Amino acid sequence: MNILLIGGNGFVGQALIKKFTENKVKVSYLSRSQNRSITSEEANWIQGDIFNLDNIMIKESYDITIHLIGTIKNKNLYSKLNTESVAQTIKLCQKHNINKLVYFSANGGFKQYLESKLNGERLVKDSKLDYLIVRPGLMYGKDRLTSYFNILPIKFFSKFGITFFKNVYPLSVEKVADTVVKSIIDNKDSTIIHIKDMK
Ligand SMILES: NC(=O)c1ccc[n+]([C@@H]2O[C@H](COP(=O)([O-])OP(=O)(O)OC[C@H]3O[C@@H](n4cnc5c(N)ncnc54)[C@H](OP(=O)(O)O)[C@@H]3O)[C@@H](O)[C@H]2O)c1
């Protein structure tokens, strides 16, 4: 199995690369800049901007693409990064005969953010590719220390049944990556991974 991570130099990408490496699955990541903490033994880096498909040099054949580009912080980029980059990734899959797309969506968050993620999901479902949609809440882990700040208040408020906080229930990025990698390796039929599946 050969996996291509789009935007895989970031927080979730690094966790996925560790899990794939542990399971001896070959993986490459595409991003505009290289992450020096990912060794070439762990993953091959492909330099590229998903909005510039003509300049992306794909030399191997891949079975699965995992889309990891997105933003929650920058409202002005919701449409571009959370939705349009998905359309670009679908084009890349079609161009290089990659039959399956895994999309990191979201289970909750601000209205406009969630809408841009759901628009991304629609593109994936309509693409005619095999797909898997992952809907995590907040993810935390040591590679993003600021992610620990919100865990306690979110867990506290979600106990009172407040929907917003329940929907972004914090999960460790390792657990999320482990569930996704297992689902891919076991070739499970499911098309959506919900928060409850990753707890
Ligand atoms: N972190 C969370 O708690 C959380 C929760 C729910 C959902 N998600 C979703 O999970 C996914 C992964 O999140 P993350 O936290 O790992 O994100 P991240 O750390 O920001 O990683 C994404 C990477 O995408 C790359 N990228 C951005 N624009 C690109 C472009 N035009 N072409 C190629 N690469 C590009 C960036 O690297 P370069 O700048 O070097 O290109 C960046 O490092 C996102 O879709 C996010 O919305 C995250």
Rounded to an integer, what distance in angstroms lies between the CA atom of residue 113 and that of residue 115?
A: 5
Report pLDDT for 96. 98
Residue owning the nearest CA to atom 38 of ligand 1: 32
pTM value is 0.97
166 alpha carbon to ligand 1 midpoint, in Å?
Answer: 23
Q: Pairing between strand 26-31 and 139-140?
A: unpaired
Q: pLDDT tens for the chain, 199 residues: list them.
A: 999 999 999 999 999 999 999 999 999 999 999 999 999 999 999 999 999 999 999 999 999 999 999 999 999 999 999 999 999 999 999 999 999 999 999 999 999 999 999 999 999 999 999 999 999 999 999 999 999 998 998 988 888 889 999 999 999 999 999 999 999 999 888 999 999 999 8
Domains and CATH numbers, the chain: 2-141+171-198 (3.40.50.720)
68 alpha carbon to ligand 1 midpoint, in Å?
Answer: 5
Report pLDDT for 161. 86
Report pLDDT for 189. 86
Report pLDDT for 188. 85
Rounded to an integer, what distance in angstroms lies between the CA atom of residue 82 and that of residue 84?
A: 6
Angle 96-127-187 (CA atoms, 0-180°, nearest 5)?
A: 75
Residue owning the nearest CA to atom 2 of ligand 1: 139
Helix (H, G, I), strand (E, B) or coil at 182: helix
Residue owning the nearest CA to atom 6 of ligand 1: 106
Residue owning the nearest CA to atom 5 of ligand 1: 138
Ligand 1 atom with minimal separation from the 117 CA? 47
Report pLDDT for 83. 98
Report pLDDT for 199. 86
Pocket of ligand 1 (CB under 6 A): 7, 9-13, 30-33, 49-51, 68-70, 104, 106, 136, 138-139
Residue owning the nearest CA to atom 39 of ligand 1: 32
